[in-house]
Amino acid sequence: MRREQLLQELSFKASKSSGPGGQHANKTSSRVELSWSLPETFAFTEEEIVRLTDKLAHRLTKEGVLQLASQASRSQHKNKEDVIKRFFSLLEVAIQVPKVRKKKRPSKLAKLKRLKAKKEQSEKKANRKRPEF
């Protein structure tokens, strides 16, 4: 449901691509640019939009538009599929809620082990000193 709604909100633009293609590349528009406006989307809740804005801040324009482009292939259709796949994987990563870290105290046994190791280390170093008579 959400995926179909997002696909309707996307806008695409084709332009001439650099890269492989020979003479064919000079006359066809195989590069695909995807644009998606984050503030105008209806696919996410307010909380999710805030999280997406935070995570994708370095990729958004001043107006809050996400722009992606693909020119890997000589085919416009493959480039469009590629840019859509990248768009959804980017959103998938950005929308995840980070796990809350639970504070844990070291156990009594762990404290004793640490102190014992420190004691052994200090004795080892003390034994390296020249004996006093």
Rounded Cα gap, residues 115 and 110, in angstroms: 9
For the cut 90, the answer to whether the pLDDT of residue 16 exceeds it is: no
pTM of the model: 0.71
Mean pLDDT of the region 94-99: 89
pLDDT at 74: 82
For the cut 60, the answer to whether the pLDDT of residue 104 exceeds it is: yes
Q: Where are the beta strands (DSSP E) in 16-78?
A: 31-37, 65-70
Across-strand partners of 68?
A: 34
Which of 23-32, 51-60, 91-100 has the lowest average pLDDT?
A: 23-32
pLDDT band at 66 (very low <50, low <70, confident <90, very high): very high
C-alpha distances out from residue 45 to 2, 66, 86, Å: 11, 18, 22
For the cut 70, the answer to whether the pLDDT of residue 61 exceeds it is: yes
Q: Return the number of other C-beta atoms located less than 10 Å from residue 73's C-beta.
A: 19
Q: 82, 13, 41, 103: which is closest to 52 by C-alpha?
A: 41
